[in-house]
DNA sequence: GAGGGAATGTGAAACAAGTCACGACTTCTT
DNA sequence: AAGAAGTCGTGACTTGTTTCACATTCCCTC
């Protein structure tokens, strides 16, 4: 499953879901063809970068014509395993967790949040956004075959819960807590740190003023 | 303000808030010195990278000793303008927006969410997490001197609201909607796309299996 | 106050990503 | 039917970032 594809740069891989979504939109709009230039304007990625990204998968387009939307869509659907749904659990049904549960990930996605976990008895037993919420004590018992977890607990709990997740067989963690968790090598963690994002935007504004640059 | 500092690589700049937070923690714990190796374990960044990052600011440490926590903390506080608070507005008080309002950004940060805006009459007039919520129609009237906006509206509204923000003088937008908004060159936009983050984590899990790698 | 051990700061190398620019091919127009 | 216009795919280049590896320096103990 991961042989030829192993050669795709990580930066490219991160853009694939974005491309997929826009190509899907174009398809829904009934568009038949699209050029790298048009796509570039929509997703705000340089057109040469888009062509380069696509080229890692072979020749998807036609010179002088562009890309066939339907072909591209089928290709991306296959590449992103759109048909095989990855089961996800969400730990910590606070404000942020609730936002996720109400987010309709299935619309464009290959992922489904199967269940949530929380320590508060108010939330346990309810359904939020169609997702049942279990008590955190049942984590190991209920997790079953979900391979990915979204971590939206208080940061003081993060390491502890992460260890339980790992023991329960989770392979990927999307960590929204400020804590940098330690996990074994076979587990992949992506950190999204809201405070850092905001702070670094502010830093960039102060120290890297834009003006004539980034025209495109 | 942005002369010497202009030379700092963007990758480094993005890590600064992270460093700051951990150094602050160490200080609170009463730790007096720290090595790049220790720091590396805490923030999950290679120790050579940490030393290189710090070196852009001059020689902050001592060979054979490490870094003095208090000195480092003072230095970072100054560098990140910790004392000068940047005013932030939040547009769209849905689940995600509410999560932000309840997040205590002031704890470690140089940013403060001053107000929220929403179209729903249920929310307007209330305070959430100590932040007053105004009606979206009052956007231009109330925004005053906030320079950064967090955009947590439905994606169909994103472009429209973004244009109003720009007209009102906003300089930075943290965009949590899946829409890629178009703004003038002088406005900086950082996209955080929750669906893309989840989907790309899944893609990495399937195609870039870890195992012996990433030891450190 | 001398020697051992520890950890920095940094040249140089390696790696990764983005961009340029153009040949080749396709479609469209007249 | 031929020329013009458009657009891909990609070699070469540029830029940006990380990592290696080690001379240098400083602390600490004896």
Report the pLDDT value the prediction gives residue B211, as an integer from 0 to 100: 58
d(Cα B61, Cα B23) in Å, to the nearest integer? 14
Three-state secondary-structure class, residue A86: strand
pLDDT reading at A117 higher than 50: yes
Chain B hits for A205, CB-CB cut-off 8 Å, are: 86, 147-148, 171-172, 188
- Indicate if B86-197 has the same CATH topology as B4-77: no
CA separation (Å) from B138 to B31, B54, B101, B117? 48, 44, 19, 8
CATH architecture of B86-197: 3-Layer(aba) Sandwich (3.40)
Query: C1' nearest to CA of A63: which nucleotide?
Result: D8
d(Cα B118, Cα B135) in Å, to the nearest integer? 5
Task: Compute the average pLDDT of residues A16-37.
Answer: 94
Distance of CA B60 to the CA centre of its chain: 24
Confidence of residue A57 (pLDDT cuts 50, 70, 90): very high
Q: How far is B168 from chain A (nearest CA, A)?
A: 17
Token output for A60: 């998807």
Structural contact between residues A161 and B172, judged by C-beta atoms closer than 8 angstroms: no
Report the pLDDT value the prediction gives residue B212, as an integer from 0 to 100: 43
Report the pLDDT value the prediction gives residue B209, as an integer from 0 to 100: 73
Q: Which fold has domain B4-77?
A: Arc Repressor Mutant, subunit A (1.10.10)
**Global model pTM greater than 0.85:** yes
- At residue B122, what are phi and psi to the nearest 5 degrees? -60, -40
Q: Which fold has domain A4-79?
A: Arc Repressor Mutant, subunit A (1.10.10)
Q: Is the CB of A12 under 7 A from strand D?
A: no
Instruction: Output the 3-class SS for B6-35.
Output: HHCCHHHHHHHHHHHHHHHHHHHCCCCEEC
Domain ranges for chain B? 4-77, 86-197
Task: Compute the average pLDDT of residues A30-48.
Answer: 95
Q: Which residues in chain B (83-122) have CB-CB distances under 8 A to chain A? A: 86, 88, 94-96, 98-100, 102-103, 105, 108-111
User: What whole-number percentage of chain A has pLDDT above 90?
Assistant: 77
Report the pLDDT value the prediction gives residue A211, as an integer from 0 to 100: 58
Nearest alpha-carbon partner for B177 in B87, B88, B96: B96
Q: Which residue has the tokens 């956007």?
A: B139
Q: Is A212 on the interface with B (CB under 8 A)?
A: yes
pLDDT reading at B146 higher than 70: yes
Token output for A176: 């929204």
- Residue range A153-206, pLDDT digits in tens: 999 999 999 999 999 999 999 999 999 999 999 999 999 999 999 988 998 998
């Amino acid at each position: 499953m991961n042989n030829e594809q192993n050669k795709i740069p990580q930066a490219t891989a991160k853009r694939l879901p974005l491309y997929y979504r826009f190509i899907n939109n174009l398809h829904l709009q009934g568009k038949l063809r699209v050029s790298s230039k048009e796509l570039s304007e929509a997703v705000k990625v340089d057109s040469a970068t888009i062509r380069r990204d696509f080229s890692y998968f072979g020749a998807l387009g036609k010179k002088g014509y562009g890309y066939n939307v339907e072909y591209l869509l089928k290709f991306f659907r296959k590449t992103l395993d759109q048909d095989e749904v990855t089961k996800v659990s969400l730990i910590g049904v606070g404000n942020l967790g609730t936002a996720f549960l109400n987010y309709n990930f299935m619309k464009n996605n290959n992922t489904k949040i199967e269940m949530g976990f929380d320590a508060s008895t108010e939330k346990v037993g309810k359904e939020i956004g169609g997702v049942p919420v279990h008590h955190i004590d049942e984590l190991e018992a209920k997790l079953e075959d979900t391979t990915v977890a979204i971590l939206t607990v208080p940061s003081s709990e993060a390491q502890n819960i992460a260890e339980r997740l790992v023991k329960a067989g989770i392979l990927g963690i999307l960590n929204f807590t400020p804590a940098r968790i330690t996990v074994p090598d076979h587990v992949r963690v992506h950190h999204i740190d809201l405070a850092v994002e905001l702070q670094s935007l502010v830093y960039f504004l102060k120290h890297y003023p834009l003006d004539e640059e980034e025209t495109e």
